[in-house]
Copies of this chain bind each other. A is one copy, B any other.
Amino acid sequence: MRILITGAAGMIGRKLTGRLVAAGELNGKPIAELVLHDIVAPEAPDLPGAKITTLTGDLADDGAAERLVGFKPDVVFHLAGVVSGEAEADFEKGYRVNLDGTRALFEAIRHAGIAPRVVFTSSIAVFGAPFPDVIPDEFHPIPLTSYGTQKLMSEALLTDYSRRGFFDGIGIRLPTICVRPGKPNKAASSFFSGIIREPLAGQPAILPVPRSVLHTHASPRAAVGFLVHAAGLDGESVGPRRNLTMPGVAVTVGEQIEALARIAGPDTARLIREEPDATIWAIVKNWPTRFSADRARTLGFAAEQSFDEIVRAHIEDELG
- Interface residues of A, Cβ cutoff 8 Å to B: 91, 128, 138-144, 146, 149, 152-153, 156-157, 159-160, 163-164, 240-241
Whether the pair A149, B143 counts as a contact (CB closer than 8 A) is no
Whether the pair A160, B142 counts as a contact (CB closer than 8 A) is no
Report how far A152 CA is from B139 CA in the complex, Å.
15
- Measured CB to CB, the nearest residue on chain B to A242 is B142
Whether the pair A241, B142 counts as a contact (CB closer than 8 A) is yes
Task: Other than A139-B140, A140-B141, A149-B157, give 16 A-B pairs with Cβ distance below 8 A.
Answer: A128-B240, A138-B140, A141-B141, A142-B159, A142-B240, A142-B241, A143-B156, A143-B159, A143-B160, A144-B240, A146-B164, A149-B156, A152-B156, A153-B153, A153-B157, A156-B156
Contact of A163 among B138, B144, B159 (CB under 8 A): B144
Smallest beta-carbon distance A229→chain B, Å: 22
Contact residues in B for A241 (Cβ distance below 8 Å)? 142
Contacts A144-B240, A240-B142, A241-B142: A156 and B159 contacting too (C-beta < 8 A)?
A: no
Smallest beta-carbon distance A161→chain B, Å: 9
Contacts A91-B164, A164-B91: A149 and B141 contacting too (C-beta < 8 A)?
A: no
Whether the pair B142, A149 counts as a contact (CB closer than 8 A) is no
Of the candidates A146, A152, A160, the one having the most CB atoms from chain B within 10 angstroms of its own CB is A160
Contact residues in B for A146 (Cβ distance below 8 Å)? 160, 164
Contact residues in B for A149 (Cβ distance below 8 Å)? 156-157, 159-160
Report how far A156 CA is from B98 CA in the complex, Å.
14
- Measured CB to CB, the nearest residue on chain B to A160 is B149
Report how far A214 CA is from B285 CA in the complex, Å.
42
26 A-B pairs (CB sep. < 8 Å):
A91-B164, A128-B240, A138-B140, A139-B140, A140-B140, A140-B141, A141-B141, A142-B159, A142-B240, A142-B241, A143-B156, A143-B159, A143-B160, A144-B163, A144-B240, A146-B160, A146-B164, A149-B156, A149-B157, A149-B159, A149-B160, A152-B156, A153-B153, A153-B156, A153-B157, A156-B156
Smallest beta-carbon distance A221→chain B, Å: 30
Smallest beta-carbon distance A109→chain B, Å: 14
Contact residues in B for A143 (Cβ distance below 8 Å)? 156, 159-160
- Measured CB to CB, the nearest residue on chain B to A129 is B240
Report how far A191 CA is from B163 CA in the complex, Å.
27
Smallest beta-carbon distance A67→chain B, Å: 21
Report how far A142 CA is from B244 CA in the complex, Å.
12
Smallest beta-carbon distance A2→chain B, Å: 26
Q: Which 10 A-B pairs have the closest CB atoms?
A: A149-B160, A140-B140, A153-B153, A138-B140, A149-B156, A152-B156, A153-B156, A146-B160, A142-B241, A144-B240
